[in-house]
Amino acid sequence: MNLTPGERFIAVEKTLLHISVLSDAKDVLLLFISTPPEYRRQGYANKAMEELCCACDENGLRIFLYAAPDPASGFSLEDIITWYMRWGFTPHRKRNSQALMRMPK
């Protein structure tokens, strides 16, 4: 996975990631993750997240994101935050539980 500084879209099987690697090359912003409705709940988003987390771990990069539900997806904000927490994300700011971060392992 290309983790050089810059913004890019990355396709992992049926899921699209939109990331931005900051110029200091220490942080990744996960701007968007999307799986088409007909492929949801089949593990594609998990595969994409696994690849992103492994690449960031290998390169010592933190991942930041702002969790927001897509009303058309049928997933609540709580569902989305719970899913990210399974990947090691924690609230980044106490005031705003939607801002999440993941430290490299």
Tokens of 25: 């090359």
pLDDT 10s digits, 29-55: 999 899 998 998 899 999 999 999 999
Question: Rounded to two decimals, what is the model's pTM?
Answer: 0.89
pLDDT value, residue 60: 94
Kindly report, residue by residue over 68-81, the tens digit of the pLDDT: 887 888 888 999 99
**Which residues touch 30 (CB under 8 Å, ≥6 apart)?**
17, 18, 19, 52, 63, 64, 65
Do residues 29 and 56 lie in contact, with contact meaning Cβ atoms separated by under 8 Å? no
Amino acid 41: pLDDT = 87
Q: How confident is the model at residue 95 (pLDDT cuts 50, 70, 90)?
A: low
User: How high is the pLDDT of residue 2?
Assistant: 83
Domain 6-102: top CATH class: alpha beta
- Residues 6 or more apart in contact with residue 37 via CB below 8 angstroms: 72, 73
